[in-house]
Amino acid sequence: MKNIKTGTLFLCCAALLATATPSEACTGISLKSKDGSIVLARTCEWGGSNLESRYVIVPRNHTVTSTTPSGQNGLVYTSKYGYAGISVVQDSFVTEGLNEAGLSAGLFFFPGYGQYETYDSGKNASTLVDVELVGWILANFSTVDQVREAISDVHIVATSPQAGTAHWRIADASGKQVVLEITGGEPHFFDNKLGVLTNAPGFEWQMTNLNNYVNLFPGQTKPNKLTDEVTLSQFGAGAGFLGIPGDVTPPSRFVRAAFYKATAPQYGTSFETVKETFQILNNFDIPIGVEHEIGQAPADIPSATQWTTSSDQSALRFYYRTAWNSTIRCIDLNAINFDKVAYQVHPLDKVQDQPVEMIKVK
């Protein structure tokens, strides 16, 4: 019965992911504070329906049986590290998280460009689906190099042939950050020295595409005298960024994220930096109507950006806010005894309703 239920769930997930191309849009950035702390933040968009996202607390020594396209019969492992993260659709589908060693990992949709290896039921003992890879990484490793070494030990496959593909951002407390992409059935790691990630096309193409915007610079433009009688001048502040792409496609978001990150002020502490990441990522919230035909947008979600997170790798704090409640909430991993805490899953919002503070005037 478990396999029947799992198979049915996979069909539902596959249908959701297969139609995700026009509505799935994740944007990731990282910032470094003056005290050397590194903060990784990202958005998660899905404009089709409520992802029913929840936060997950996973203790040490928690045994996991991974899922495969044929059921919950894949790789079995026991967590070495405790972690906090956010899952979508199903509890085990952790999309973003931070473990107690300061390792951060996140899944970003990558439609049309990833190519996983073909599922082989004979390799189930070392197989897991792509949407469970983040959980495996956070539970087992403390550094990027450890993930690099171990990735060849597992077989990463899609939930079904109809499902889309993903790529991943992985970063450790030393500051090392990589992008993992699987193409031609083989994993490839790219050093992410820029600290930005969106979706398709691939990371190397996105980095090359930045050269198309070499003319952009922060600040103001100087007046341009065309003739003795005609001088052109900027309409307002920030004209140095005139021409930066403003649409919600992944290449355009990558460019904006790169320049907003590069020009952001550097704050003294990681907590100040966390707050700055949320301010920057405000610019990547996608209104629900942008990606749909007129009258076709779903009415049950207020934004395609369903949640935004920020991970403080030094203070070991995992922050999030949602489309339903913009209040920033924090899970302090230092306050959790991962030897004793129970595995648990909770909705991101107890009530999906934006709190409003009434101002009393005397």
The residues carrying an active-site annotation are 26
CA angle 96, 101, 105 (to 5 degrees): 20
Measured CA to CA, the distance from residue 307 to residue 286 in angstroms comes to 11
Residue 149, Cβ density class (10 Å: 0-12 exposed, 13-18 middle, ≥19 buried): exposed
Tokens 């107690």 correspond to: 100
User: Are residues 255 and 209 in contact, defined by beta-carbon separation less than 8 angstroms?
Assistant: yes
Length of the chain, in residues? 362
The CB-side HSE value for 125 (13 A sphere, CA atoms) comes to: 1
Cα separation values, 340 from 59, 103, 124, 141, 335, Å: 7, 21, 31, 20, 12
Please give the single-letter amino acid code of residue 40: L
Burial of 33 (C-beta count, 10 Å sphere; 0-12/13-18/19+) = buried
Distance CA(112)–CA(134), nearest Å, equals: 20
Instruction: Please confirm whether the linkage preceding 347 is cis (ω < 30° from 0).
Output: no
Contacts for 203 with CB less than 8 Å, ≥ 6 apart:
167, 179, 181, 190, 192, 197
